[in-house]
Amino acid sequence: QVQLRESGGGLVQPGGSLRLSCAASGSIFRPNAVGWYRQAPGKQRELVATVTNGGSLSYADSVKGRFAVSRDNGENLIYLQMNSLQPEDTAVYYCNINISGQDYWGKGTLVTVSL
């Protein structure tokens, strides 16, 4: 069993920054990929950023140059540094791990970008 717990969400003004963290525990062995997705009100969940086991990075076009995903394998932690946040970044952000084709999800952390 794999458990994921996100933290670091909150209210931030446009142009501000936040750093999300995801703590993973349980039966984690060489995940294919780890990363972040988000779901805005009334919209489908979408990929934000992922990093594969080989270290390849992938970002949604809307966050390229502003967000950065990273991982600490030794501590089973996954991070998402978010800079230059905009109101359209408002969403619930979910941590994801894919292990042998099986997706595991956290419960999400809310990020609100507003004045």
pLDDT digits (tens, 9 = 90+) for 44-54: 999 999 999 88
pLDDT of residue 1: 85
Mean pLDDT over residues 16-36, rounded? 91
The secondary element (H helix, E strand) that includes residue 14 is none
- Please state, in angstroms and rounded to a whole number, the distance separating the CA atoms of residues 39 and 100: 24
Place of tokens 């062995």: 29
- Please state, in angstroms and rounded to a whole number, the distance separating the CA atoms of residues 94 and 46: 10
Residues 25 and 3 sit within 8 Å (Cβ to Cβ): yes
At residue 17 the predicted structure's pLDDT band, cuts being 50, 70 and 90, is: very high
Listed residue (115, 87, 106) closest to 7, CA to CA: 106
SS3 (DSSP) at 25: strand
